[in-house]
Every structure is written in structure tokens, then in C-alpha cells.
Amino acid sequence: MDEESDGSNFLNFCYKNKRVELEEGVTIQTWPDGKGNVPETGVIFFDYSSGKRVPHEARPLREEVFQSFLRELSNPGLSEQSKLLMLRTAATTHFYNAEQVRAMVRLVDFRGRVDAVVMLFRRIVDLERFYELVYLMLKPSETAALRTRLGKALKPWLPESEMEVEQITEGTTAVVFLTEEVPADEVPADVSPESALTTEQPEQA
């Protein structure tokens, strides 16, 4: 979490398959009782926004190293969850250009492509090319989800015609936290299983 965060960088907060509207004076850190006593069971979903920007001196991954990683990512034996975990891990230490991000996202199944883009968005050194090379390759349902997930961080990089489609939600950017697999029937329709965080095992019906 960013230093001195006031909790406003947590987006799309859900608990037990329901959206949670935080009461005034309560943040996700102090939810649900104002003291932060997190429930022992159930599933929590959220996007975490980061205010950190790409450093000016950042450079994309060297092409020969990137091609080696791309070959690993294209291994037909990898599950989609493993691919997303590889991307998340690599994104913690590397930066990419938009063309490289496009190549990686193309190797991810439709159901996980939005998660992949969200993970990599703040690691792109040439965001001015994001719309042309990455955004336009996505389907309308994916771009709608992306606008919700990335919030206002996406606004400067989209043309006005896209901004008129729907109002951009509050936030700066999002980072998906991939932990353990969650049953698909416990995930809200507009949140993928890869975005789920569990406190402990979900309650049994």
C-alpha cells in the first residue's frame, strides 16, 4: 500500500458477493466496525489504486529478455491463472512499452485479459501509445470493465469519444492482487476470480 494512504485508493470493494458502500468516516482499513476487525470468513474483492508513476528513467525490458519471457508465457501447458501470476510477478520489477504489453495480453485468454492489462498498465513507459496498441485490441465488454477498474488514471489516454461512453469512476490506477483460487460462483459478475482476496475459507452454505 502507498505510504500515508487514506484508503481512497481502494476501488470496487465487495464482500460476500455484494458491493460495500463504506459509511462516512469508515475506510477499508477500519471496515466493518470502525476498528478494522476483519471478518474471519467470507471473500473480499477490491481493486487497489496506486498513485505511483513510471520513473522518468524507466526503460522497457530489453528485447532479447522480453522474447525469452514471451516464449515462457506462450507455453501451452500453462494454465490461465499461472500466466496471470507470471505477469504480476514480472510487473513488480520490469517496465514495458505498449507493443510489448500488447504481445503479452494477446497470449491471455479472453476471461483474463482485463486483469492482465490492469496489472501492466502502470508499468508502461509510453502510455501515449496505450490506446492504439492495447485498448483498441479489446472487446467492448473488456474496455468497459477496464474503465471501471482503472478509473481516472485511464482518462488522459483516451479520446473524448471513449470518455463519452460512460463516466469514468474515481481513482488513479489499479493493481490486481492474485492470491488463491476462488470458486467462480462466489465472484461478482463484473469481478474476475483472479481479483479475489480471501481472509480465510469461505463460509459453507
Q: What are phi and psi of 46, to 5 degrees?
A: -165, 160
- Grid coordinates representing 121 are 498498465
The pLDDT profile of the chain, 205 residues, written as one tens digit per residue, is 444 455 555 667 788 878 888 777 777 777 888 777 888 888 876 665 555 677 888 999 999 999 999 999 999 999 999 999 999 999 999 999 999 999 999 999 999 999 999 999 999 999 999 999 999 999 999 999 999 888 778 888 999 887 666 554 444 444 444 444 444 454 544 444 444 443 333 344 4
- Where do the structural domains in the chain lie, given as residue ranges? 63-163
- Grid coordinates representing 75 are 507455453
Chain mean position to CA 12: 11
Beta bridge partners of 43: 198
CA distance 100 to 56: 19
pTM of the entire structure?
Answer: 0.64
CA distance 167 to 201: 36
Beta bridge partners of 18: 15
CA distance 130 to 199: 35
CA distance 125 to 55: 9
